[in-house]
Amino acid sequence: MSETSPLSTGNLASDMDALCASIHRVAGKIQAIAEAVQNSNQNRVQLENKIEDAQKRIQHILSRLPEQSDGRQLNLLGEAIPPNNPEDDNEPTTH
């Protein structure tokens, strides 16, 4: 059995160096994790804002919907739509 003596300064110094190196590696990993968490939180906030904007746009579109009893053509984009005259459908042009 070989036991290390607590008074052995050679082993103590190398153990301290190894411990310092381990602490340094762990500190680096903690820093990387903290940065990843911060980036994740920023991304979450951005996504929440995008979702809120999309919900507002959807609500605006839904507010423009006619009543269910309204038989008019729906124009959600606000573009001009020429009226559809049934008597003009499938008529040959004579001009």
What residue ranges do the domains of the chain occupy?
38-64
* Dihedral sign computed on CA atoms, order 43, 48, 53, 54: positive
CA distance 61 to 69: 18
Structure tokens at 83: 């009226």
How far are the Cα atoms of 38, 40, 45, 67, 76 from residue 35, in angstroms, in the given order? Answer: 5, 8, 15, 51, 43
Contacts of 76 (CB under 8 A, 6+ apart): 61, 64, 65
Distances from the Cα of 14 to the Cαs of 1, 9, 11, 19, 25, in angstroms? 21, 9, 5, 8, 16
Residue 36: what pLDDT? 98
Q: Which of 3-7, 11-15, 89-93 shows the highest mean pLDDT? A: 11-15
Q: Mean of the per-residue pLDDT values for the chain?
A: 80
pLDDT 10s digits, 34-63: 999 999 999 999 999 999 999 999 999 988
The pLDDT, as a whole number, for residue 70 is 61
